[in-house]
Amino acid sequence: ARESPRMPSPPRVIVIVGPTGSGKSRLAVELARALGGDVINADALQFHDSLPICTARVREDEMEGVRHHLVGCVKYGEYFDVRAFRARAGSIVRECVGEGRSVIVVGGSNYYAQALVSDSLMDVRDGEEEECISDKSFIDDIGPNGGRRTAAEDGTVGVDASTAYARLAEVDPESAQRLHPNDIRRVRRYLEIFDTTGERPSDVFKRERTMKKFVSQFDVLGCRTIFIALKCDSKVLDEILRARVLSMVENGLVDELEQFARCHGVESPDGARGDVRQAIGYAEWMPYLQAKVKMDSTPCVDSELASMRDEAIEATVRHTCRLSRRQQSRLTTFAKQYGWPVRFVDVSDSLSKFCSERAAFKDSWYANVVHRALELCEHGDVVELDSGNSSKQVAVHTCEACGKTLRGEIEWRAHLNGRRHRKASANARKRQRLEFGTKHPRLGRQ
């Protein structure tokens, strides 16, 4: 491996974010070796000690002697949420910085990293319990039984969609206008923010969007906090992700999933929170795993099992590529919303060489990615993005013929031009003629 130069410099807290497959773990190791520091994992699924291949956990040989924290630290069945992460990771950061070592925080979703470095996403009451107030990207990431908040914890869980939306419209009309009445997940989450903080969600988001200066909880330690976001061309990333999924299969993914399913069951237990089965690369394999586990009592044709296996591989590739696009989009939104010091590094050129020119990839990665990241850690300028008019009013239209509510002119025009709307409008006109009769033109006298 190329020897990274040691930089005698004060300790830093460096947060690496980016879409899955963009090389975050690789860059974290390179920076840790160059700056003299430790790596803290902020990928919620990689906290678990189960399914290391499925969750793409960094291997021992890939760590290259760099100390990694919070990797495989949660045993099956244990609950480890963002508050527990913030407490443990914060303690590790303070210890490392106190000893003069930098810290590189690396994870999948930027949510855990945000919660670690800043109080802006946490509501601290009387120095006691911390409650997530969240941002819209986190709301999008809530899993069905995830390690974040579940529907059972929501005070509006027993309220139907129309009642919940009516209450939101009463307490925060601006937020209600931005949400669809049937988007019950976000409606409930916004109500939860209001009930928890006593503030309207629109005011909370507006305050965070207009933050002029990024404040890290580690500023008091005398060290800089730097965000580095990796970005990559989608086509290049799709090729990388396909190769990675196939490599995972070759390295024992199927055996790992089968063994896990036999030990703990194919599906998550009722009420489970933070379950590792949320990982992309597990749900896609459930039909295969269910058939495999039942083979002892109900034999399955090998061709059927092979077909399910192939479909699981393709589904994993599709869903991983879709996730990477969503993550990349949200990172741009994250930089716009908060105005935080995010520095973007384009890894497209280097990753394009990964599958075909491994030797050229290593040189390109070091020259274009690692070297650039080290420069940004030292004295790089912040990439500022135009946030635009985030408070722009969104027009809400209701189609009486279809009984649908649509937000924004684009949705409305698309609906009016749609086949379903035209058919519903034609049926409405027919019903009207039947009810009131068809008016014929009066015949003139002959």
C-alpha to C-alpha distances, 197 to 141, 142, 203, 295, nearest whole angstrom:
21, 19, 11, 52
CATH of 142-206, one of 1.10.3720.10, 1.10.20.140, 3.40.50.970, 3.40.50.1110: 1.10.20.140
Give yes or no for residue 410 having a pLDDT over 90. Answer: no
Tokens for 158, please give them.
């027993």
pLDDT digits (tens, 9 = 90+) for 3-61: 555 545 689 999 999 999 999 999 999 999 999 999 999 999 999 999 999 999 999 99
Give yes or no for residue 221 having a pLDDT over 50. Answer: yes
What is the model's pLDDT at position 126?
33
Q: Where in the chain is the domain with CATH 1.10.20.140?
A: 142-206
Strands (E), 220-313: 224-231
Residue 262 dihedral angles phi and psi, to the nearest 5°: -70, -35
| Cβ count near 242 (within 10 Å) | 19
Indicate the pLDDT class of residue 297, thresholds 50, 70 and 90: low
Alpha helix segments (H runs only) across 294-347? 302-338
Give yes or no for residue 99 having a pLDDT over 80. Answer: yes
| Cβ count near 218 (within 10 Å) | 21
What is the model's pLDDT at position 184?
86
Higher-confidence position of 224 and 270: 224
pLDDT digits (tens, 9 = 90+) for 327-338: 888 887 766 666
Task: Report pTM.
Answer: 0.68
| Cβ count near 299 (within 10 Å) | 8
Please, which residues have CB within 8 angstroms of residue 324's CB and are 6 or more apart in sequence? 19, 20, 21, 22, 234, 237, 238, 241
What is the model's pLDDT at position 157?
52
Average of per-residue pLDDT across 421-432? 82
Q: CA-CA distance, 439 to 64, in Å (whole number)? A: 84
Q: H or E stretch including 124?
A: strand 122-124
Q: CA-CA distance, 134 to 438, in Å (whole number)? A: 56
What is the model's pLDDT at position 61?
95
Tell me whether strands 404-407 and 396-399 are parallel, antiparallel or unpaired: antiparallel
